[in-house]
Structure 1
Amino acid sequence: MTGLTKVYGAGDTAVRALDGVSVTFGQGRFTAIMGPSGSGKSTLMHCAAGLDTVTGGSVLLNDQDLTKLSDTALTRLRRTRIGFVFQSFNLLPTLTAKQNILLPLELAGAKPDPRWMTTVIDTLGLADRLGHVPSQLSGGQQQRVACARAMLPRPDVIFADEPTGNLDSRTGHELLEFLRRSVRELGQTIVMVTHDPHAAAYADRVVLLADGRIVDDIENPTADAVLGRLRTLGV
């Protein structure tokens, strides 16, 4: 994305959530976005994922500018080329795990690759949970279903918004390990918003925001390095 600007409101009440942000998220890499509350990290992710409109600048997914697409075209693109994992899981309660996993492809009128589906389900340890509805699954199992749903269409990128926020520490660790493996072993591209330096340490890179601008870019982050930098930002 280049020169990304997002302004909410107008006149004296206008809030500039993003102020000319230019950043590239590398293919086959795991990037974490961090920053103080109100820094613009969630806004950046939502604009990058086509979930929110931009005030200025461009958002390129490979060579396609999301800011130029109609709502219909953007909806189609999100179903197959962009995956989402949210803190609240966002599973449909009346559908089984398998039906939830297949839903984006069905909405797009596409069929899954059986071998890829087996790989994703086996990697996530969901083979014996496919017939269960969300209320019959633990929080960690629900989040794994959400990950499988995001990965099944083989999207260009998966955006994860605080994916461990509703999980206990052990289950959160397992999920982050899976995200890490999906990048290393399956070639997935992941962009994750998090407030947790320990979660960010699973990433290849941490992009730090403050006041709607990128203020640091840390390669091969450690929790201590990220925490130290956040402290200089007053977090």
Structure 2
Amino acid sequence: MSALASDVGTRTAVAARDLVKVYGKGDTAVRALDGVGVAFAAGQFTAIMGPSGSGKSTLMHCLAGLDTVDSGSVHIGQSEITRLSDRDLTKLRRDRVGFVFQAFNLLTTLTAEQNILLGLELAGRKPDQVWFDTIVDTVGLRDRLRHKPTELSGGQQQRVACARALVSKPEVVFADEPTGNLDSRSGAEVLDFLRMSVRKFGQTVIMVTHDPVAASYADRVVLMADGHLAGEIANPTADSVLAALRHLGA
């Protein structure tokens, strides 16, 4: 069992308490998050869903330290990121968090291998070759490492982004609509890999999606509505997620 998997289910990877996030002021102010408290277990794949404007993307951005909060706290492991300086927060995101976005965010001048290793290189860290090989083989990119993004399909590019997110052995991977720019087949490949990273490596994945089929790959779905938690679904199916979203008016 990998080090990532050694304490699956025994700890909380990410936790938010009483999160408030307000955009704007006065009569135009919008409370995107209104006292949200939620925890995410280590070694679990969680999807965050809700209607447009429910606060799901804001919640992810605050959990990942990509946006500030007006009040409340966020912990990644034992670190309260809402109290960190910008410098320390940047270091934490670099060393302990992985990101996969809807836009693949690959550098077109670099090969797939160089894109995967870029974050480690910028951090001055040497890759664990065994771990790199494991990730590359798991994601099915062994014969594409020397290709540049323009020579790869959309699904392959997103798998490069997934490999980049995992190669640093992060405590948590945040995935923001990771299949939004992909066809159904390529999207399924990426979701299979994210689920495999949880089950095989004990990775923690938190994903925002609007797609009930994508959410069905998760172990748990957290529902948002009007800046509040609106429930959750364990062992979701596409049908159970769709029914819950209809109830919320999505």
In the TM superposition, what whole-angstrom CA distance separates every residue of 1:171-205 from its partner, at most 9, and x where no partner exists? 11111111111100111000000001111011000
Aligned amino acid, residue 55 of structure 1: D
The aligned residue for residue 72 of structure 1 is 87
The aligned residue for residue 181 of structure 1 is 196
Contact 1:79-1:107 within 8 A present in 2 as well: no
Aligned amino acid, residue 77 of structure 1: L
Aligned amino acid, residue 167 of structure 1: L
- Give runs of aligned pairs for residues 147-162 of structure 1, distance below 5 A: 147-162=162-177
The aligned residue for residue 122 of structure 2 is 107
Structure 1 residue 3: Cα displacement: 0.4
Aligned amino acid, residue 194 of structure 2: L
Query: Given the alignment of the two structures, is residue 37 of structure 1 paired with residue 52 of structure 2, yes or no?
Result: yes
Root mean square deviation of aligned Cα: 0.7
Unaligned runs of 5+ in 1: none
The aligned residue for residue 194 of structure 1 is 209
Aligned amino acid, residue 62 of structure 2: C
The aligned residue for residue 138 of structure 1 is 153
Question: Using the alignment, how far apart are the partners of 1:183 and 1:60 within structure 2?
Answer: 20
Question: Using the alignment, how far apart are the partners of 2:18 and 2:242 within structure 1?
Answer: 27
Query: Given the alignment of the two structures, is residue 220 of structure 1 paired with residue 213 of structure 2, yes or no?
Result: no
Aligned amino acid, residue 123 of structure 1: T
Structure 1 residue 168: Cα displacement: 0.8
The aligned residue for residue 246 of structure 2 is 231
Could you say what secondary structure the match of 1:115 adopts? helix
The aligned residue for residue 204 of structure 1 is 219
In the TM superposition, what whole-angstrom CA distance separates every residue of 1:137-184 from its partner, at most 9, and x where no partner exists? 110110000000000000000000110111111111111111111100
Deviating 4+ runs (over 4 angstroms): none
Question: Using the alignment, how far apart are the partners of 1:112 and 1:68 within structure 2?
Answer: 30
| Percent of aligned pairs with the same amino acid | 69
Question: Using the alignment, how far apart are the partners of 2:60 and 2:89 within structure 1?
Answer: 15
Query: Given the alignment of the two structures, is residue 47 of structure 1 paired with residue 47 of structure 2, yes or no?
Result: no
The aligned residue for residue 5 of structure 1 is 20
TM-score (norm 2): 0.93
Question: Using the alignment, how far apart are the partners of 2:152 and 2:222 within structure 1?
Answer: 33
Question: Using the alignment, how far apart are the partners of 2:217 and 2:20 within structure 1?
Answer: 28
Aligned amino acid, residue 192 of structure 1: M
Structure 1 residue 108: Cα displacement: 1.2
The aligned residue for residue 43 of structure 2 is 28
Structure 1 residue 95: Cα displacement: 1.1
Question: Using the alignment, how far apart are the partners of 2:236 and 2:156 within structure 1?
Answer: 28
Aligned amino acid, residue 152 of structure 1: V
Question: Using the alignment, how far apart are the partners of 1:127 and 1:80 within structure 2?
Answer: 25
Unaligned runs of 5+ in 2: 1-15
The aligned residue for residue 170 of structure 1 is 185
